[in-house]
Amino acid sequence: MEVYTVTVATGTSEYSGTNNYIYVTLIGENGESERTLLDNPGLDFCRGAVDQYKVVSPSPLGSVLLVRLEKQRYWVEDNWFCRYVTVEPDDGGKVQTFPCYRWFVGDLKMEIREGKATTVMDDSSPKLLEHRKTELQERRKTYRWITWAPGIPRCIDAKTEADLPQDARFENEKRSDFEHSLHYALLELSLKKLTIRFGKSWNDLEDFKRIFWKLRSPIAEYCMEHWEEDWLFGYQCLNGSNPRMIQRCKTLPENFPVTAGMVQRSMADGTTLTKELKAGNIYLLDYAIMEGIPTNTIKGKPQFIAAPLCLLYQHPDDGLIPIAIQLEQTPGLDTPIFLPTDPPLAWLLAKMWVRHAEFQVFQLLSHLLRTHLVVEVFCVATLRQLPAVHPIYKLLAPHLRYTLEINCRGRTQLISDTGIFKRVVSTGGKGLLILAQREYKVLTYRSLQPRSDFIDRGVMQISNYFYRDHSLMLWDAIHSFVSGMVNLYYQTDRDVQQDAELQAWIRDVTQEGFTELPNFGRFLFHSGLLNAAGSLFRLQQDSSPEEI
């Protein structure tokens, strides 16, 4: 007879504990232990508890391969979150750790295996190979693809966050914090609405400060004081909310007929527009993607958007400054080019229209599409095609946490027909989907990699581009970490190609998630795998639920 000490750790978040029956069976190379009810004197499986039990096997098990956990209802249903199980033979043998980190909802039986990362090529035990297969079969039934709207990445089959499996939901503390923040923000907006409705009307730009009473940080106050200045406009193009639009301008676009004479007063002494173009000091913001986008109607009032072109100059003394703005893509008598020499309010209004277009592009394309929706494709594919013991699953799982719930909330609360965008944003309704579809058509895997993106936009030399500098430092750190982990299991392209699970994951990403982008990117090889994992790490830095 063999005796084992089994330690079971319950989750630390709210409602992780249970009063239901918990059974355990140890599955070894040579057989199974007795099915044992885990029951010590007093309360078992309380929140944060680490409980020990004795489990008996009538014959030697050999190496323990799997731990079978079962939860059965006692009086009322009570879910349970298990963190991990450890198994130690009483003869002083090796302690084995079996991570779980899963919710047991209802009467459920689950088998978990030891935590060491293992590829399918390294597994030789028939029991472990069958466990991998069964786990993925169950996951594919749980996590299914669906097309939420044509022309954008596919997503998880869940109408709302309530349709997600418990393992993909926010923890209770996270949910409470998220909903408290949302309710607080809505209350603040309501108070501001009352202030505006019953207070005095806006007479000048200074009156806008009355609705920003919460902005009390030094940076926020500084921006409120200087937001009208050209240098801050240029600085925000480099380090603001959406610093990925700026590109080097080698030749002026044909539809942006700026002449040297128009902008000469913005040039430094002794230089011209032609000289600065050759020197690489002229940059461009081009919002052509906004042209012709249908606009929203809010409370019966039609909204308006622009599709501007903005020329910027890296001034040796003043930094990056705007020097010409055209608010539509087609030049003509009705599409003037605004200059810093125009009346101050005309120039300020032109810059505000550029910022208005910037807001649409940032929220719908840079943030929603290129971050949340792209990451969701990898998240769903990971859950469907990689078992929990797979090294790439272990590498990515912490960075994909909460992705599905926050995206479901975004689809229902932000971009749905009754969402916030439809109620308050100029591109809400049909416009936001058309805008996302346009960007999705030209989305490339290369553009998600920061170094390639900066090189392609010609902005590697521009000064004070702290977003670029910090992104590259972060990317190098991420790439170093990911390379070290991936290289433990994959040294060559052949190693990547021979991993059937990894290849299934890649196919799920490219053929199921990015169905309409056959040329999105090929990372069938070793270097591609490193960049794919690294890109996901970096994208998640921009994908916090608090922002949504």
CB 93 within 8 A of CB 129: no
Short-list 386, 375, 398, 399, CA closest to 489: 386
Q: Is 269 annotated as a binding residue?
A: no
Q: Is 479 annotated as a binding residue?
A: no
CB 313 within 8 A of CB 225: no
Element (H, E) at 141: helix 126-142
Q: How many residues does the chain have?
A: 548
Q: How confident is the prediction along the chain (548 residues), in pLDDT tens digits per residue?
A: 899 999 999 999 999 999 999 999 999 999 999 999 999 999 999 999 999 999 999 998 989 999 999 999 998 999 999 999 999 998 888 899 999 999 999 999 999 999 999 999 999 999 999 999 999 999 999 999 999 999 999 999 999 999 999 999 998 888 788 777 777 777 777 777 776 666 666 777 777 776 666 657 888 888 888 999 999 999 999 999 999 999 999 999 999 999 999 999 999 999 999 999 999 999 999 999 999 999 999 999 999 999 999 999 999 999 999 999 999 999 999 999 999 999 999 999 999 999 999 999 999 999 999 999 999 999 999 999 999 999 999 999 999 999 999 999 999 999 999 999 999 999 999 999 999 999 999 998 889 999 999 999 999 999 999 999 999 999 999 999 999 999 999 998 889 999 999 999 999 999 999 998 877 756 555 666 666 666 666 665 554 433 43
**463 backbone dihedrals φ, ψ, rounded to 5°:** -85, 160
Q: Is 39 annotated as a binding residue?
A: yes
Helices (H), 443-544: 450-457, 466-486, 493-498, 500-507, 526-540
Residue 256: half-sphere exposure toward Cβ, Cα within 13 Å: 26
> What domains are there in the chain, each with its CATH number?
2-115 (2.60.60.20)
Q: Is 372 annotated as a binding residue?
A: yes
Q: What is the dihedral of CA 163, 165, 170, 176, to 10 degrees?
A: 50
> Interior CA angle at 538 toward 533 and 542, to 5°?
140
Element (H, E) at 286: strand 282-286
The Cα-based distances of 291 to 246, 417, 546 in angstroms read 18, 22, 31
Strands (E), 29-79: 31-32, 36-37, 50-57, 64-72
Give residue 102's region: left, alpha or beta (phi > 0; psi -120 to 50). beta
Q: What tokens appear for 57 in the block? A: 């096997």
CB 45 within 8 A of CB 16: no
Short-list 510, 537, 519, CA closest to 145: 510
- Single pTM value for the model: 0.91
Q: Is 476 annotated as a binding residue?
A: no
The one-letter amino acid code at 328 reads E
**Can you give the pLDDT at residue 461?**
94
**Can you give the pLDDT at residue 548?**
30
- 2-10 and 80-89 as β-strands: parallel, antiparallel, unpaired? antiparallel
**Can you give the pLDDT at residue 235?**
97
**Can you give the pLDDT at residue 546?**
37
Q: Is 79 annotated as a binding residue?
A: no
pLDDT (tens digit, 9 = 90+) per residue, 480-524? 999 999 999 999 888 999 999 999 999 999 999 999 887 775 655
Would you give the DSSP letter of residue 338?
E
The Cα-based distances of 516 to 152, 154, 532 in angstroms read 8, 9, 19
**Can you give the pLDDT at residue 177?**
82
